[in-house]
């Protein structure tokens, strides 16, 4: 059983929802980012998303874009991102790690080589936002063969005709984007999210995790109450970008995790 599947089994047995946190590798610098990542499990995070910085993050809002720029300016690379995961694995071999980013750095490395390195580092899943289902042969299917989950995003514009295509090779969980547009924009509305989550769950047995627009413990609770859990990224990254200490960032993450777990 994969770490992701095992974590959802554990959460189900405990009757709890999942809290997923996103941080950018190398932001604001390599060492601080590693301290944050390694502190996330202790702050109540069930699954960690580690961002792979890229020069043209077309799906990301200003907060994540700036984080990627800071990371790249500080010298963060694909290898450095994998080293961040390795650092976590020295103290934690159970918390699932999902690498989130864009295809170009992976393509440049070579899919087979990348998957071998990712598996060796301890990566459990991938979210690659610029590879649609029509391109599954590029990375999705090879990743599944390498026993790395390929997590797909569904959005408010994913209609019933498109949904089966989105789900066909998805594994680990489905990431439902609660609002249209880029990361960090707007606020998630549980009353609007609930029917969409129900629609997706009627078509798959995979857990559905909701992201975008969640900034408070109350929002984490409300969204998790209508889904299998929630993701927070921009709100955490914003605090990192403002120069908050690792302890303060992790305290904020803990408040969000407690909110999600209270659903």
> What was the pLDDT predicted at 189?
87
Give residue 187's pLDDT band: very low, low, confident or very high (50, 70, 90): confident
Question: pLDDT tens for residues 49-60?
Answer: 999 999 988 878
Give residue 46's pLDDT band: very low, low, confident or very high (50, 70, 90): very high
At 154, is the secondary structure helix, strand, or coil? strand
Mean pLDDT of 226-246: 97
As a whole number of angstroms, the distance between CA 253 and CA 242 comes to: 15
> What was the pLDDT predicted at 188?
79
> What was the pLDDT predicted at 59?
79
Does residue 152 contact residue 126 with C-beta atoms inside 8 Å? no
Residue of 27, 49, 196, 238 marked active site: 49
- The yes-or-no answer on residue 228 being catalytic is no
Question: pLDDT tens for residues 85-132?
Answer: 999 999 999 999 999 999 999 999 999 999 999 999 999 999 999 999
Residues in the chain, how many? Answer: 263
The reported pTM is 0.96
Beta bridge partners of 99: 50, 126
> What was the pLDDT predicted at 185?
53
State the chain's mean pLDDT as an integer: 95
> What was the pLDDT predicted at 179?
75
| Axis-axis angle for helices 111-121, 78-89 (nearest 10) | 30
- The yes-or-no answer on residue 56 being catalytic is no
As a whole number of angstroms, the distance between CA 233 and CA 60 comes to: 11
> What was the pLDDT predicted at 180?
61
> What was the pLDDT predicted at 186?
62
Find tokens 């990348």 and name the residue: 114
Does residue 155 contact residue 163 with C-beta atoms inside 8 Å? no
The number of domains in the chain is 1
Residue of 60, 124, 149, 228 marked active site: 60
Q: What is the CATH number of the domain that holds 225?
A: 3.20.20.70
Question: pLDDT tens for residues 123-170?
Answer: 999 999 999 999 999 999 999 999 999 999 999 999 999 999 999 999
As a whole number of angstroms, the distance between CA 76 and CA 23 comes to: 13
At 26, is the secondary structure helix, strand, or coil? coil
Closest CA to 150 of 199, 206, 109, 197: 206
CB atoms within 10 A of CB 77: 16
Domain extent, residue 89, equals 3-261
pLDDT at residue 220 greater than cutoff 80: yes
pLDDT at residue 258 greater than cutoff 80: yes
pLDDT at residue 61 greater than cutoff 90: no
pLDDT at residue 182 greater than cutoff 60: no
């Amino acid at each position: 059983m994969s770490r992701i599947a095992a974590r959802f089994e554990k959460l189900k047995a405990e009757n709890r929802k999942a809290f997923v946190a996103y941080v950018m590798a190398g932001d604001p610098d390599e060492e601080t980012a590693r301290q944050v990542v390694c502190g996330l499990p202790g702050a109540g995070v069930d699954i960690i998303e580690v961002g792979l910085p890229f020069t043209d993050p077309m799906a990301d809002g200003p907060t994540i874009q700036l984080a990627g720029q800071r990371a790249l300016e500080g010298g963060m690379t694909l290898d450095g991102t994998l080293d961040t995961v390795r650092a976590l694995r020295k103290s934690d071999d159970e918390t699932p790690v999902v690498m989130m980013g864009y295809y170009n750095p992976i393509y440049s490395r070579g899919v087979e080589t990348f998957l071998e390195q990712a598996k060796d580092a301890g990566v459990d899943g991938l979210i690659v936002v610029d590879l649609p289902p029509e391109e599954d042969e590029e990375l999705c299917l090879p990743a599944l063969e390498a026993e790395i989950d390929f997590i797909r995003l569904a959005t408010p514009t994913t209609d019933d005709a498109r949904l089966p295509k989105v789900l066909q090779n998805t594994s680990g969980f489905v990431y439902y984007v609660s609002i249209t547009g880029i990361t960090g924009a707007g606020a998630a509305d549980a009353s609007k999210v609930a029917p969409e989550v129900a629609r997706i769950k009627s078509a798959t047995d995979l857990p559905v995790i909701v992201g975008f627009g969640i900034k408070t413990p109350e929002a984490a609770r409300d969204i998790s109450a209508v889904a299998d859990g929630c993701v927070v990224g921009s709100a955490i990254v914003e605090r990192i970008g403002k120069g908050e200490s690792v302890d303060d960032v992790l305290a904020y993450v803990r408040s969000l995790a407690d909110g999600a777990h209270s659903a």
